[in-house]
Amino acid sequence: MRWIKNFIGRFQGYSGCAKCKDTWNWKKSKDIQYTKNESMFALCEECFNKLDVSEIIYWYEDLLNSHVRSTPIDYTPERIKKIRQTLKDNITKEKKASSQFLTSKKNIIHANRLREANASLHPNSNPSDLNSRGNPTDSNPSFPLRESRLA
């Protein structure tokens, strides 16, 4: 049914997601704010959730570039630079928020298991001691062990 919905969308003049090409008449777009009251959408929510940050940034910059090409008078190099930075910041923020939402429940369970595991492995050590030995590349310092060890 997807191709029929896209066919209708194209026919009605809708554009679509830069990645999967599904059209905006039926697919929900992921709006990213780039000034106080302007936002743009290059991807659908589904693709936004699936792709990693660098590819998402690529598609939004690509959309920005095509805007700049079609109406260059609206853009100074300074403005483009500012928009780029804002897009990047907001994409990173949004992506973090959505992945935290998806894994928050899992993390709570892991955190509890971890406490139990640590308690049985190191009965005399205190929690701050364990944290300081955490992997420095780990984004969340409250989880000293890698998730894979718990799986």
Considering beta carbons, is residue 19 or 95 the nearer one to Zn ion? 19
If binding is defined by CB under 5 A, does position 63 make contact with Zn ion? no
Q: Which of 9, 17, 41, 145 binds Zn ion (CB under 5 A)?
A: 17
If binding is defined by CB under 5 A, does position 56 make contact with Zn ion? no
CA angle 84, 87, 92 (to 5 degrees): 125
Report how far apart, in Å, the C-alpha atoms of 34 and of each of 31, 64, 68, 80 are.
9, 10, 14, 10
If binding is defined by CB under 5 A, does position 20 make contact with Zn ion? yes
Of 44-52, 89-97, 100-108, 123-131: span binding Zn ion (CB under 5 A):
44-52
Contact 36, 44 (CB under 8 A): no
If binding is defined by CB under 5 A, does position 44 make contact with Zn ion? yes
- What is the Cα 136 distance to its own chain's centre? 22
CA angle 69, 10, 44 (to 5 degrees): 70
Taking the complex as a whole, the smallest distance from the CB of residue 20 to Zn ion amounts, in Å, to 3
Considering beta carbons, is residue 47 or 56 the nearer one to Zn ion? 47
Residue type, 70: S
If binding is defined by CB under 5 A, does position 87 make contact with Zn ion? no
- Please report, as ranges, the residues that interact with Zn ion according to CB under 5 A: 17, 19-20, 44, 47
